[in-house]
Structure 1
């Protein structure tokens, strides 16, 4: 089932659902004809769309809103925070082309600080599905939850079949004593490749799909950092405020430290290109990830913080 098919099915079965867009219909091209006046296009007005969605939510509706990730999280930030987050209204943000998925676009259209921004909003929940299968398994619970939500929409098809979703729970793919990779969204595909390479080198490798970033699965993070010699955070996001920061917060909360090797963007946007070229140029292919992990000494005795592996 596709994103559009799922949204159509849910909206047709529940009249509370309103589908909205700020003149970005890529994910919902066929929905207007089926929903009639329950489909609203506000034009290129992300702030107006969020304000209207909040008004609808106050009247018992569940608006699912669509816009480019960069504009949904930054241009409309104050409206998301004030109109949806603070009053805790069920406004559901569907973020189009987040992270590296905005591959051909320059800095103004790259959302690589979105996780940081959205998880800092009171009551906001934050999710990043690994692929389309993960997406459609996650969304029914997210959309039926009373809190506002931000979802990094990922409609890429892969062969991986994900386990059922539980709000606030990570998906444990494998456990490893040498290395555990924590990742979310698009880079799950590359993590799978890296795991295979590392296993072929004789390492015991774990992989966790951190699909729910707020609420986050603290137990999964603690288990990984306690039971693996090295924990790797992998994300198409700035280092600040993303998964690396989340892991640090969880460890500090529990009075712990760990060997953590982060893969993230270091306060720079990525070079626009076709997606495979973007990932290779920035050092995020499965092969490059595995090579950097193999180059890091995992046979240590005292916990330490690893030197971050940034894209240059």
Structure 2
């Protein structure tokens, strides 16, 4: 099932659902003719759309709003914070082309601060599906929640069949002793490739899909921190405020520590290009991820401690 099919099915079953967009119809092209007055296009006015969504939510509606992730989270930030966050209203924000998915767009259209921005708003929940299967499995619960939500929309089709979604829970794909990769969104595809390559090198490798970023699965983070020698946080987001920061916050909160290698965009926007080229240029292909992890392990390998030989 596609995003649009799920949204159509949901809206037809519940007349309180209102679909809104700020002149960004890529995800909802067929809905105007189906929903009629329950489809609202405000034009390129993200702030106005959020204000209107708040008004509808106050009247018992469930507005599901659409815009480019960069503009939804930054241009309309104050409106999201004040109208939705402070009031705790159940508007659902569908951020289109987040992270590296905006591939050919320049810095003004790149949403690589969005997780940090949205999770900092009280009452706001944040989700980042790995692909379309993950997306459609999480959205019914997210849309039914009484909380405002920001979803990093990802409609890429993969062959992976994800587990049932549970709010606030990570999806543990596999466990490993040597290294565990924690990731979300688009880079899950590349993480799967990296895991296979690392296993071929003889490493015991784990992979966790951090699909729910707020609320976050603290237990999953603490478990892999205790059982794996190295954690790798992999994300198409600035290193500040994203998954690396979330992991650090959880470890500090529980007065524990771990060896963590962050793989993220380090204080720079990515170079616009077609997605395969962006992944290659920024070092996020599965092969490059595996090579980075192997290089880190080699550089930080502890020398073998020789046991003293005692005469009998």
Query: TM-score if structure 1 supplies the norm length?
Result: 0.96
- Structure 1 position 95, deviation (Å): 0.3
* Cα separation, 2, equivalents of 1:261 and 1:138: 28
Q: Residue 304 of structure 1 aligns with which residue?
A: none
Rg larger in structure:
2
Give the corresponding residue for 1:21: 21
Mapping 1:259-278, distance limit 5 Å: 259-278=259-278
Which secondary structure does the structure 2 equivalent of 1:263 belong to? strand
What's the counterpart of residue 2 of structure 1?
Answer: 2
Q: Deviations along 1:52-74, whole A, 9 cap, x unmatched?
A: 00000000000000000000000
Identify which range, 290-299 or 26-35, moves more after superposition: 290-299
1:129 to partner: Cα distance? 0.1
Deviation at 1:257, TM superposition (A): 1.1
Contact 1:183 1:208 in 2 (8 A): yes
Structure 1 residue ranges, 4+ long, deviating more than 6 angstroms after superposition: none
Contact preservation (8 Å) 1:229, 1:299: no
The aligned counterpart of 1:307 is none
1:99-124 per-position Cα deviation (integer Å, ceiling 9, x unaligned): 00000000000000000000000100
1:270-309 equivalent positions in 2, closer than 5 A: 270-297=270-297, 299-300=301-302
* Distance of 2:302 and 2:140 partners within structure 1: 44
1:147-184 alpha-carbon deviations (Å, 9 max, x no partner): 00000000000000000000000000000000000000
Distance 2:266 2:181 in 1: 19
After TM superposition, the structure 1 = structure 2 runs for residues 1-312 of structure 1, keeping only pairs within 5 Å, are: 1-297=1-297, 299-300=301-302
Residue 308 of structure 2: aligned partner: none
Q: Distance in 1 between matches of 2:24 and 2:206?
A: 38
Q: CA separation in 2, counterparts of 1:154 and 1:29?
A: 16
For structure 1, which runs of at least 5 residues remain unmatched after alignment? 302-312
**C-alpha distance in 2 between matches for 1:300 and 1:155:** 42
The offset of 1:296, in angstroms, is 1.4
5+ residue gaps, structure 2, are 304-312
In 2, Cα distance between equivalents of 1:14 and 1:221: 37
